[in-house]
Amino acid sequence: MPDTGYVQDFQPKQFYRDLEQLLHEAPAAGTTEGFAEVARQIVERFGSTLFLESWRLYEEDMDGFLLAAGTSTAGDEELLVPQEYPPIQRVLEHGVYIFEESAEGIQRELEERIGCGRESAALLLRGEPRRIVAFGLRSGWERDNLDFTLNTLRNAINLRTRLRDLKSDIEQAAEIQRSLLPEPLPEFRGFTLAARSVPAEAVGGDLYDFFSGDADTLAVTVGDASGHGLSAALLARDVVTGFRMGCDGGLKLSHVVSRLNRVIARSRLSSRFVSLFAGELDSDGTITYVNAGHPPALIIGAGPARRLELGGTILGPVPEAVFRSGWARLHPGEVFVAVTDGLLERLDPSGGFFGEEGVERSVRRDLDRTGPEILRDLFDDAERHAGGRPNPDDATAVVVARG
């Protein structure tokens, strides 16, 4: 795109609109190529207006800032500007700096190698590595216009870099979360298994896991890690990994949960905690479990529902908390179901919870069906209860039906 041509009559609003268009069209921010293209087009589009005549891009190195790209860089590919060079220090301190010919600390020989002219301006860009963009100035530049331009440019690029980093964090968290969920679910003779986790946002803190140490035992976990995003996904990953390692080591279930609690309690983030239901199902239907502050799992059959709530407090707040193991049996024709708060607390239009009663009612109606069918109807019933309104919390359910 050619220079916009508002020469002496600088229009800040018009400049900002043109800058937004430039950043939208430029290659992805955060890369050397992307930053270099933005700097080049700044000179091309706004050079005559702001009296810019050249540009150079530097990237932080161990000993200073290394020339990465720019106008007439042939032969200077290894040019390194020392970190202690006074103009570099001023840019690092202020973020934006305009250097007149008489500026203190400028070394004329080095400036001639840098090649931005006798007067220049530079701005610091956030990220890893840090980068500095320098512009050579022609005579006639105006400090107010140039200062406004450089600060606007720096803030706009840094904002886009932060948004890119945030998007990257969310994508990483989502990938971590997906990697935690067992797919496909293991087979366990005589039982049908099903599980689903629906995050309220791009990434949630719920977790579930199935894994079998041998043909006669199936470990089941359902949990809810505090928070959302990358930190919650990492915490959920640690819980799943720690639980698997403990069970593989042959430790008693209560000991595994106690160790997990101590690890989470040592975290520097005191607000981090996890509610967890952890159980081991034997092929004869025996369930040994620990409920660490999680909504009670249910066994639903022809008689009254049985609540699996023995265990202890949530993981994290109390390092030396004591956890006890509970015991139950899943008989033929019965269904085990464990859910998180996000399913129980679905609200109907009048403010009523779906609750444990809703879970029991839905599962009891489907006792003659398979685990996947029961799970599907459970989520459908909760959705109908809420009148189709979005769920503000993550919702997870695990179902084990014994044939």
CATH, residue 259 = 3.60.40.10
Q: Is 27 contained in some domain? A: yes
**Are 47 and 64 contacting, i.e. CB atoms less than 8 angstroms apart?**
no
Bigger pLDDT: 103 vs 133: 133
Q: Is 144 contained in some domain? A: yes
What is the Cα–Cα distance from 297 to 305, expressed in whole angstroms? 10
Residue written as token pair 């406004």: 148
**Are 312 and 349 contacting, i.e. CB atoms less than 8 angstroms apart?**
no
Q: What is the pLDDT of residue 7?
A: 43
Task: Looking at the structure, tell me whether residues 85 and 188 fall in a common domain.
Answer: no
Contacts of 46 (CB under 8 A, 6+ apart): 3, 4, 15, 18, 52, 149
**Are 308 and 262 contacting, i.e. CB atoms less than 8 angstroms apart?**
no
Bigger pLDDT: 386 vs 1: 386
Least confident among 36-50, 75-89, 316-330: 75-89
**Are 224 and 233 contacting, i.e. CB atoms less than 8 angstroms apart?**
no
Query: Domains in the chain: how many in total?
Result: 2
Q: What is the pLDDT of residue 294?
A: 96
* Rounded (10°) CA dihedral 110, 114, 118, 120: -120
Q: Is 3 contained in some domain? A: no
**Are 146 and 98 contacting, i.e. CB atoms less than 8 angstroms apart?**
yes
| Average confidence (pLDDT) over 366-394 | 94
Residue 142: pLDDT band (50, 70, 90) is confident
Task: Looking at the structure, tell me whether residues 121 and 205 fall in a common domain.
Answer: no
Bigger pLDDT: 157 vs 301: 301
| Average pLDDT along the chain | 85
Task: Looking at the structure, tell me whether residues 211 and 317 fall in a common domain.
Answer: yes
Q: What is the pLDDT of residue 42?
A: 87
* 254 C-beta neighbours (distance < 10 Å), count: 20
Q: Of 171, 197, 227, at which residue does a domain stop?
A: 171
Q: What is the DSSP string of 304-336?
A: --EEE--EESPBSS-TT-----EEEE--TT-EE
Q: Is 2 contained in some domain? A: no
- What are the structure tokens assigned to 318, written together? 């109390």
Q: Is 153 contained in some domain? A: yes
Q: What is the pLDDT of residue 280?
A: 95
CA distances for 214 relative to 188, 194, 280, 403, angstroms: 10, 19, 11, 20
What is the Cα–Cα distance from 71 to 79, expressed in whole angstroms? 14
**pLDDT beyond 60 at 84:** yes
| Average confidence (pLDDT) over 323-330 | 97
Q: Is 176 contained in some domain? A: no
**Are 402 and 301 contacting, i.e. CB atoms less than 8 angstroms apart?**
no
Identity at 12, one-letter amino acid code: P
**Region for residue 46 given its phi and psi (left: phi exceeds 0; alpha: psi -120 to 50; beta: otherwise):** alpha
Q: What is the pLDDT of residue 77?
A: 59
Task: Looking at the structure, tell me whether residues 198 and 158 fall in a common domain.
Answer: no
* 313 C-beta neighbours (distance < 10 Å), count: 15
**Are 284 and 247 contacting, i.e. CB atoms less than 8 angstroms apart?**
no
Q: Is 97 contained in some domain? A: yes
What is the Cα–Cα distance from 253 to 261, expressed in whole angstroms? 12
Tell me the torsion sign for CA atoms 49, 145, 151, 123. Answer: positive
Residue 4: pLDDT band (50, 70, 90) is very low
**Are 400 and 336 contacting, i.e. CB atoms less than 8 angstroms apart?**
yes
Tell if the pTM clears 0.75, that is, is over it.
no
**pLDDT beyond 90 at 357:** yes
Task: Looking at the structure, tell me whether residues 190 and 149 fall in a common domain.
Answer: no
| Average confidence (pLDDT) over 278-287 | 96
Bigger pLDDT: 34 vs 113: 34
The CATH number assigned to the domain holding 157 equals 3.30.450.40
What is the Cα–Cα distance from 146 to 136, expressed in whole angstroms? 12
Range of the domain at 106: 12-171
**3-class DSSP state for residue 153?**
helix
Identity at 110, one-letter amino acid code: L
Beta strands in 24-163 (DSSP E): 52-61, 64-70, 80-82, 96-99, 120-125, 131-137
**Are 299 and 356 contacting, i.e. CB atoms less than 8 angstroms apart?**
no
Q: What is the pLDDT of residue 165?
A: 65
* Rounded (10°) CA dihedral 187, 188, 192, 194: -60
Least confident among 8-17, 276-285, 379-388: 8-17
**pLDDT beyond 70 at 123:** yes
Task: Looking at the structure, tell me whether residues 43 and 101 fall in a common domain.
Answer: yes
Q: What is the pLDDT of residue 270?
A: 46
Least confident among 51-60, 101-110, 248-257: 101-110
Bigger pLDDT: 264 vs 105: 264
Task: Looking at the structure, tell me whether residues 330 and 382 fall in a common domain.
Answer: yes
Residue 391: pLDDT band (50, 70, 90) is confident
| Average confidence (pLDDT) over 120-138 | 88
- What are the structure tokens assigned to 288, written together? 């040994």
Task: Looking at the structure, tell me whether residues 191 and 337 fall in a common domain.
Answer: yes
* Rounded (10°) CA dihedral 199, 196, 242, 188: 180
Task: Looking at the structure, tell me whether residues 202 and 340 fall in a common domain.
Answer: yes
What is the Cα–Cα distance from 281 to 219, expressed in whole angstroms? 6
For the ranges 120-134, 270-284, 374-388, the one whose mean pLDDT is highest: 374-388
Q: What is the pLDDT of residue 126?
A: 81
Residue 203: pLDDT band (50, 70, 90) is low
From the list 80, 119, 87, 89, the residue with the least C-alpha distance to 106 is 87
